[in-house]
Each structure stands twice: as structure tokens, then as C-alpha cells.
Structure 1
């Protein structure tokens, strides 16, 4: 256990205990830096070299941890945290194959108990060696003592300096002691596990895997060719719909706008997922006797990928059509983002088939695209985009569901601030109720919360004169009539199958 890695692990535990008890913000990035240094010190001592893909995974993981400092919404922040953990696991293991990429996070979790034992042995070894640990402890104790004593003197001598120290230093009470100790242990064990993995990673890529038995050309190609014909027929129908327009198709099928768009999207999303599974199985059992087999595989699977890309475009078009009619929600933007990423995966499969596995390492590139998609999704601020699209729709149609929008995070405040009163105050009331910028430390706040607080300080909200709960019988609080009734928002006209239910139905 390198002394530098052990010190970095202790710093990670200390920062975790001080910064993690008050919320999530830039503190995650501050804690990740010494943990990454612990892994780097351990890897250097073990003789591991830093490779280009290690830099990609490491910088990508740290970039993902900037999202909590920018966005307040919990759901994209959770996704970025999971993706950052996966990126760190890939950086430590250096995985190249599909099984290595999938099992790398498991390996990092499994290394944490071993890392704790490794750290304890390293600490005991240095404590037993004369003169190795004592000077370090004495130096650290003297530095902390001087900082506390002179910091307290300066704070009592100058009110401005006292305010600065109070704003920057964490507020730790005795009652929070057990929680802080637990956070210290989690941070320390996590950093030591990362260091242990960096020094001696499990080589998941070397696990033996039985290759698939190659099939004959006819046995392999015939089902896929039939599938390609089916995709071609479906895409031809989509082209006819595009040329004729949705109105003609709806009058012929008897479906409503919502039923046609919503049902079609889910089916097409499922078709895209199944197609990727089929391609993976087809590659495993593809014939591999020579150049003719390679040409056959590339032609059949390339055609299937191109056909599926048309399906992806059709699914996204249907979602856009549905959002224009009934507004954007978290579920809708999430599944649309997944469909878009699946389209990127298909393009990467096409590129790998054309360039070869040596020029384009497909497992790594697909994993990198997933991390980039999660990072882009978080930086895009989905709650802000949802509010923006729904406000634009209100300005265009005069209908809006404030009951849904008032559940968004502080990221949505700039867009909701554009609404007229009383809709504005009703949409912002929950944000104002949950926001506590003054009582939250700087390291646990996001940029979205700061912006929302500025908006509320500038204009405030007032809901004392009206009820912000819309009445489904046509008597809502606001002066805007029946609050969207008759537009398919609350009745059965949107094809959601409900009777006066949620305007977003089961979707």
C-alpha cells in the first residue's frame, strides 16, 4: 500500500465526512479527486501505464460528476452518478471486451473489502517501522492545531473574516457524529478499493467464453433476409404515411392522434431493442469460413441496421408528434433519449462492420457513447427542457398542466417564470417551498438552485388569492376558462383511455 495512496484515501474519507451530509453539488467532484489520486498512486507503484482509453474513462467520469454542480433535478443526477462509477471502474480495469465492460463495476465493488484490508495492513506496517508514521501524524496534528487556533482568533477579530469562514467551512454538530463517521468509512473504503483495483485489477477480459458454433450460410442468412423484407415493407408504409399525412391515416384507422403516436412509439422502441439483440446473436453464430462469408454477414446485417435506423427515425417522429399535441414529460423525454442513443449504437455497429474491429473497438466505443449520452442528458437539463416545451405549447394553444409542472425541479424555474399570473406562481410554488439556498452550504448547491433563487428574489410568488388546484369539472382557480378541458387534456379525447385522469395518462 503506497503511503501516498493511503494519504489520499484518508483525505477522501475526511472530505466525505465533512461535505456529504448536507446535499449533493460540487462536493462529489471534490471527493472524487483524492480518490482518483489514490488509484493513480497505486497504479504507478504497481507499474501500470496510463493508456489513452484510461484517460477517456477517467476524464469522462470526472466530467459526469460536474452535472450535480449544475443541475438540481435528482433523476439525471442519479444517472450521472451511476455512469461516473461505471467510468471509474472501466478506467481501473482497462476492459476491452463486452464481458470486461459489463463486469468492471462488479469488480470495483468486490475490491472494496480487499482494499480496506490492504489499507489496514499498510497502516500497520508503517506504524511498526520506526520513524515512518510518527512524523507524519505529528506534522498533521500540528498543522490542524495551528489552523484551528489562529483561525478562531482571526474570526473573532474580524466579522467579515468570520462570515467568510462560516460560509466556507462545513457546519458539523455533535449530534451528526455517527452519520459523519459512517460517511468517513464509506469514502475511505471506496478510495482504498479503487487503489486496490488500480494496483491489481481482475482481468475480466481473460475469462474463457465458448464461441458460438458457426451456422451454414442458408441456415444463418434466410431468417435475417426475411426480417429485412419485413422491415422494408414497414418502412414503405411509413413513407406512404409521410406522403399522405397523418390525417388521412387516422381517418382510415379510426385511431386518435394520441393513440396512433403513443402506441406506435412503444412498439418501435421494442423493435429497435430486439433488433440489436438479434444482431448480437447473429454475429455470434455467423458463418466464418472465408471472404465470401464476411461479405454475406456484412451485407445482411448492414441492411438490417439501415432498415432499423428508419424505424428509429419513425419512432422519434411519432414522439415529437405526440409531444406537440400533449406536452413533454420526464418519461417521454427519457424514452426518446434512449431511442436516439440506440440509433447511435446502430450507426456504430455499421461503422464497425465497415472498418473492422481493430480500427473501431465496438465495445469500448459503445460504452463511451453511453457515458456521453448520460453526460449530455444531464447537461441538457431535462426539467428545464420540459418546462420550456410546455410553456411554448401554452403560448401556442393556451393549454397547460400546471399540476404536473409544479413538480419539476429548480432547473425549470427560468422557463416557468415566463408564464402569466396566476399560472406562474402556481407553477413555482413547490420550487419556492423546497428551495433553501441560505440554509444549504455552498458545496451542496447547484447552479440551477442559484438561478431559481434569483428569480424568486426578483419577483416572488403569491398564491393567497386563488386556489392552485385545478377543478376537473371545469371550475379551475385561474381566469383562463376550463383549463384545457376539451383539448384532450383531461377527458377521453387524447386516446389515453382514462376518464378524467392524469393528462399524461399511463405514459
Structure 2
């Protein structure tokens, strides 16, 4: 009886949503149809909203609005966990500052996290579910599309309509796409069609943009239906001290003795040449010494951290190995701090660049991760404890960096230190350096001193707004008698 009552709704589209909770079977059938129609209606609305906000507009505030609209639509659709809207707003906030690959990545991660929290995924499965959401959601959308046309209704008229759609949708749809692309590629035909005032056809690229948005929006609207697939996992065999191989108590003990000895030599060398002020060999200055060692030391610290994670299960139960590992990690923290000091010396000599700013942030992250590892060893915490906190720390740092005006920081530092040799580099940076160039017109004589304003609110960005205000203040100061 239930199959007949719900026959108008494909099996893959049925769900125990709020509109079906506690309802008798006949009402559940009607509400299932209503839920299906609601999802389709929201799909059309969000597709139109995405086209209006994003299409043919320079990415700006519109992306933040669209990201928040997706989360709001999912919350409205499923009527649960309204507080995840706050997560969506926090994730979209960096896009208000500026649109770049980092802020887009933060927005995607934030929307994914909001959706898996809306689903009710257990805390231990959040990261796995967020990574699975989009591929699983897009695949489910394809299944839903096929199921919608395969469903058999009790009404003969509905059956005829489904058969007609099934027979014509693919030929007409692909023919329309091919026609748009061919018209766009044929100047004569395109010119002829452009003369028809009443015929306004979307171009092929716009149709492909719609086609790309549809599965993403459908995934957002159907996220709760994916819960079981998002949290499903195989139980991997537990790796532990019972399985001895290249990593075993004897090899770890010998490795830690050798590693500590090698790192002690490097620490002593840095103490002599960098901190004690003892002269370097002839032909080498402190800036060159710092530059040669900064990046290799960070790579060394990363490998040492990986060794610490792999050796952790063997070390916890052996006090001597724990003591050796603690000394090793402490030396690595000192090594990273030495790399930061080297980088500071090199920046003092040659100025800031984007790569050097990124290196400083990365070194700080590595030092923080090693400090957490040290606490993990002392407090006898598990590897999962360490990985979770390192992930939270890295996410927090990346979120803060999204609001950092790197180009402005570089220009301010280099010009304050009178790094004339970095003038060519400054001239190649983004619009954030324009106010600094305006103060010294001779710095970049061939670069226009202007910052483009957004054409409308969709392209507005807070960093661009601040840069235009700074430039206006500089120009006003220079124009004053």
C-alpha cells in the first residue's frame, strides 16, 4: 500500500523529513511530493540568484551573498539547526574582504562544514564527511535525475508525460547546447540572430555555467539525505606497537640518539655564528648564511615531526625513549625559531616579498605544531588529539591570513627601510600598493596611479574600498597647497 501511495515519488527521493514526520500514510505521500516540488522550486530560485549575482560580474561581495544564500536555503529546506547560518556567515566573511584563492577555499570549507553539521554528522566524522559531501552529492544528483524519469505514477496521463519527457529531454537539451555553441562560433549566423530584437538567446558559456551550478545547488538542498553515506567507513586495522618493522624500539632508540647528536651540532653552529656574533668564513655575510639555511631547516623540522608521529605508539610506554623524543622535539622547536631568525636577518638585508611572508607564516605553524607535539608527549595524548588540534590551529591561521593585506605590508616595510632595490618588485604587486606608489611617483613611473572602483555592489570588496580611500587621501594631500 505504501508503494502505491508514494509511487509518484522516486524511491531515491523519499526521506523522513520534517514534512513527513508523524503523518499517516496518505498524508506522507502528499507531503513527499511537496518536498520534492519544494527542492525543485528552490533549485530554480538559487540558480536564478547565482546567475544574477555571479555571471559576468567581477567576483566580490556577490560570492559571499551567494555562499550564505546556499546555507540559508538548506536550513529553510530542512528546518533544523538554524545556528549553522552563523558558520556560513563566518566562512563567507573573508570574501567580503577580498576574493582570492584562499578566501574562496575558506568559503567552500565553511559551507561544507555548515552542511555536514546540518546533517548531524558525528563529531569524529566531520572532516571525512566534509570531503565526501560534494562528490557524493553530485553523484546522488545524477541518480535522482534518472529516478525522477523512471518513476511510474498511477495516473495514465502522468505516465505519458514522463515518457514524453524521457524521450525528448536529452535530444532537445543537447541540441540546444550544440545550437548555442555553433551560433556563437558562426559570425554570420550570430549577426543575423542579433538583428532579431525579440530573440534573446543565452550564450553557450552561460548555459554551461548553469549546468555547473545545478549539481552544486542540488547537493546543498539534499545534504541530509546523504548522511549515511557521509559517515560510512571501513574499520582500518589498528597500527600499533605489536607490528614491528623498520620502526621498532631498537631502531627508534638509535635514531633518536643520532638525530639528537646531529641537531646539537646545528644548534651549536647557529649559537656561534648567529647569536654570539663570531665572524663567518671569508666571503660569506650573515644574510647569505641566513638565506641558505632558512628553508632547509623548516623541511628538516617537518620530517622530524613526521618521525615523532610515527614513533609515538612505541615511545609512550618507554620512559627513556620518551625523554629522548622530548629532547628531539625541543631541538626542533629551537631549529624552527632559528629559521625564523635567519629569515628576519635576510628580510632586513633584502626586504620583504610574498614568498618571505608566506615562509614566516609557515614557520610559525610548524613551530606551533611541534609545540603541540611536545605537549602531546608530556601529557601522553594520542595521535588523534594532536592531529585535531594542529588542524584547528592551521585553519585559524589561514582564516586570519585571509584578512592580511600582504601587498600593503610589503610596501610599507620595504619603503620604510628604504629598500630601493625592491622598487621593481613593488611595481609588480597588486592594487594595494598604489597608495604607496602615489606618495613616491618616481618609484613606478610607468604604472597608472589608479584603483578601479566596482561597477555595482556585487563587485564591492572591503580591501578595494580601503585602498581607494587611502589613495584619495594621498591625492588630496598632494593637491593641497
* TM-score, normalization by structure 1: 0.65
Q: State the number of aligned residues.
A: 388
- Residues 409-448 of structure 1 correspond to what in structure 2 (within 5 A)? 409-417=430-438, 419-423=439-443, 426=445, 429-430=447-448, 432=450, 435-437=451-453, 440-448=455-463
Partner of 1:166: none
CA 1:430 to 1:186, structure 2 compared with 1: closer, same or farther past 3 Å?
Answer: farther
Partner of 2:388: 364
Kindly indicate whether residue 100 of structure 2 is the aligned counterpart of residue 85 of structure 1.
no
Instruction: Indicate the SS of the match to 2:352.
Output: coil
Kindly indicate whether residue 46 of structure 2 is the aligned counterpart of residue 15 of structure 1.
no
- Residues 385-424 of structure 1 correspond to what in structure 2 (within 5 A)? 385-394=409-418, 399-417=420-438, 419-423=439-443
Partner of 2:255: 223
Instruction: Indicate the SS of the match to 1:389.
Output: helix
8 Å contact kept, 1:95–1:104 = no
Distance 1:219 1:358 in 2: 21
Distance 1:225 1:7 in 2: 67
8 Å contact kept, 2:87–2:110 = yes
Instruction: Indicate the SS of the match to 2:445.
Output: helix
Partner of 1:238: 270
Larger Rg: 2
> What is the root-mean-square deviation in Å for CA atoms of aligned residues?
3.8
Q: CA deviation at 1:352?
A: 3.2
Q: CA deviation at 1:231?
A: 1.9
- Residues 231-310 of structure 1 correspond to what in structure 2 (within 5 A)? 231-245=263-277, 248-250=278-280, 252=281, 254-283=283-312, 286-287=313-314, 292-293=317-318, 295=319, 298-310=322-334
Q: CA deviation at 1:175?
A: 7.2
Instruction: Indicate the SS of the match to 1:422.
Output: coil
Bigger RCO (CA 8 Å, 6+ sep): 1
Partner of 1:159: none
Q: CA deviation at 1:318?
A: 0.9
- Residues 308-387 of structure 1 correspond to what in structure 2 (within 5 A)? 308-355=332-379, 357=381, 361-387=385-411
Q: CA deviation at 1:190?
A: 1.3
Q: CA deviation at 1:271?
A: 0.7
Partner of 1:211: 238
Q: CA deviation at 1:371?
A: 1.7
8 Å contact kept, 1:39–1:195 = yes
Partner of 1:155: none
Q: CA deviation at 1:244?
A: 2.1
8 Å contact kept, 1:383–1:412 = yes
CA 1:401 to 1:316, structure 2 compared with 1: closer, same or farther past 3 Å?
Answer: same
Distance 1:365 1:66 in 2: 23
Distance 1:128 1:262 in 2: 76
Distance 1:204 1:300 in 2: 39
Distance 2:322 2:79 in 1: 42
Out of 202, 213, 219, which is 1:193 matched to?
219
Distance 1:218 1:59 in 2: 51
Kindly indicate whether residue 63 of structure 2 is the aligned counterpart of residue 28 of structure 1.
yes
Instruction: Indicate the SS of the match to 1:115.
Output: helix
Q: Where in structure 2 are there 5+ consecutive unaligned residues?
A: 1-12, 14-34, 156-198, 477-481
8 Å contact kept, 1:305–1:350 = yes
Instruction: Indicate the SS of the match to 1:426.
Output: coil
8 Å contact kept, 1:71–1:411 = no
8 Å contact kept, 1:232–1:307 = yes
8 Å contact kept, 2:61–2:461 = yes
CA 1:415 to 1:456, structure 2 compared with 1: closer, same or farther past 3 Å?
Answer: closer
